[in-house]
Amino acid sequence: MKQLIKKVIPRQLIAEIKARYEKLDILMIRFFSKNGFLASIYYAFFSQQFYREHRSVLLGRVAYEASLNRITNSSILLRRNIHRIEKGLIMQPRREVFAEGYIRETVDCFKKAIASDSLCSSEKEWASDVLQKYFSVVSHTTVIENAKNTFLDATLDEATGNSVPYVHADLPTCPLDYDQLLTLFKRRRSVRWFEEKTVDMSLINKAVEAATYAPSACNRQPYEYHVVTDKNLASEVANCAMGTVGFAENIPCMIAIVGNLDAYPAERDRHIIYIDGALASMQLMLAFETLGLSSCSINWPDIELREKALMKKLKLAYHQRIVMLMAVGYAKPDGGIPFSQKKGSNLLVKEVK
């Protein structure tokens, strides 16, 4: 249809219509940006840009509520609350009574998790160890005592006590100095030209294991890596994004970093999937470098037609959002790398006094 319009209507007229529309849009934006209420009216009636996000957030909340009673391989509520308890355990000075407001729901969730055959064994052990430590140091109130009794009834026999908070001095010694780390950072460049060589899934899994150590809000880790190793499908996935023209067919492996909005009970946390997903993905790319693999992070535009296309290809639920795409493979030695001048600290650092 667009091509037909371009043939029938003179190019100059199309340009004039576009210019008038853009001018009108700017006038509307200036008016509707005056306050939050007007902005909501604008996006309700004059723009559909946030329709998908609105529905995704609501469906994520629905899925979160369902997850409270259906424990699968990981429990978002359990992960969040156990991490909150960990932070209470390391507080200096530590309070005699803490976590009283949510210990009951934590223990109830733990009990369901123990009864589940699906929950990851290391997650069960971590929760059991932290709760065991908590009840051994906290002062007991009626609420805490009742929660402790429920916990003891459901405690894992295989709890080791190893998955509890520790002091900074126990961390492994850093094997890199600044210059070595800077070399790794400089080596991590966006590669778009790869050898005709398959990427083994064992290397992907190894790199992901390293990426899991990235920080995550309340340790939820609300993301997944959807890996495509079929070269034809990898190209199709790459073509769903913008900015891949000319090299999409050269990509041997494509990873879609997918954020899960079912990790949150409220809208306030809807952007964390992008923060946590990006933090972990940076570590993923650095891990690939140490394994002899190169990568290229690919921006994901919020365009409905592209969202639908990739959602269908990857078989995603509506509350799952694409954070970014990442091409992975073995770099061609003679493949070009953009220089991409970087801003200096003098431009990026704003000292607050």
Q: For residue range 91-113, what is the model confidence (pLDDT) as tens digits?
A: 999 999 999 999 999 999 999 98
- Boundary residue ending a domain (98, 122, 154): 154
Tell me whether residue 338 is in a domain: no
Distance CA 126, CA 123 (A): 5
Tell me whether residue 225 is in a domain: yes
pLDDT confidence of 256, banded at 50, 70, 90? very high
Tell me whether residue 341 is in a domain: no
pTM (two decimals) = 0.89
193 and 79 part of one domain: no
Tell me whether residue 347 is in a domain: no
Tell me whether residue 212 is in a domain: yes
Asked whether the predicted pLDDT for residue 3 surpasses 80, the reply is no
Q: What is the CATH number of the domain that holds 307?
A: 3.40.109.10
Per-residue pLDDT tens over the stretch 29-47 = 999 999 999 999 999 998 8
Distance CA 131, CA 322 (A): 34
Tell me whether residue 337 is in a domain: no
197 and 234 part of one domain: yes
325 and 201 part of one domain: yes
250 is in which domain, residue-wise?
A: 178-329
185 and 317 part of one domain: yes
Q: Which residue has the tokens 């290809």?
A: 313
